[in-house]
Amino acid sequence: MSNETNRRDFLGYTFAAVAAVGGAASLVGMKKAWDPLPSVLASGFTEVDLSGIKAGEPSTIMWRGKPIFVLKKTAEMESSSRDLVVGEDRFTIAIGLCTHLGCIPAWKKNMWKCACHGGEFNASGKQTFGPPPRPLDLPPFSVSGTTLVLGEEGPEYKKIAAAMKA
Ligand code: FES
């Protein structure tokens, strides 16, 4: 072993150590850049007071740029495995975009009608006429008392999502 070899080894180790530290610092920087800002995370949740909703008249709430339909069903409206049951009340929660090509259906005569190509969805959000290939989609939500929290997947959401897949 010569001094030259030891010196070369030392330079190699030093270079590897500097490269490793630089690589780790870059990864930390990239993660910080990719993570959503706290303000974005906070805006991902929207709370809706279900106790203030009148039966038979759907509310439309904007969540992450999408319309969300919240319908408190009347006693005459047929029940569905998709119903969100809160106390004595049954609700339909749905993303208000037609599953055909994404138009926003309007509530008319106890159903959502899509003006673009005539698609229809019943009060449970199920497609009943026209080209829509599937029911209105379900947004992620959880329930706390009579408050609906859009943006997080609670047990009620998981149960309904599983029923929709069955
Ligand atoms: S976009 Fe609704 S029926 Fe075509």
- 84-109: average pLDDT: 97
The Cα-based distances of 97 to 11, 24, 61, 70, 74 in angstroms read: 62, 43, 12, 13, 23
Question: pLDDT by residue (tens digit) across 11-41?
Answer: 777 777 777 777 777 766 666 666 655 555 5
- 91-100: average pLDDT: 98
Amino acid occupying residue 137? D
- Please tell me the distance between residue 30's alpha carbon and the centre of ligand 1 in angstroms: 41
Amino acid occupying residue 141? F
Q: Which of 74, 67, 134 is nearest to 103 (CA)?
A: 67
Torsion of CA 117, 120, 125, 127, to 10 degrees: -80
Percent of the chain surpassing pLDDT 70: 86
Q: How far apart are the C-alpha atoms of 30 and 28, rounded to whole Å?
A: 6
pLDDT attached to residue 108:
97
pLDDT attached to residue 2:
59
Only one residue has tokens 């959401």, namely 157
Question: Using CA positions, which residue lies closest to atom 1 of ligand 1?
Answer: 101
With a 6 A CB cut-off, is 131 part of the ligand 1 pocket? yes
pLDDT attached to residue 9:
80
With a 6 A CB cut-off, is 96 part of the ligand 1 pocket? no
Q: What is the mean pLDDT of the chain?
A: 89
- Please tell me the distance between residue 48's alpha carbon and the centre of ligand 1 in angstroms: 27
* pTM for the whole structure: 0.76
Question: pLDDT by residue (tens digit) across 100-144?
Answer: 999 999 999 999 999 999 999 999 999 999 999 999 999 999 999
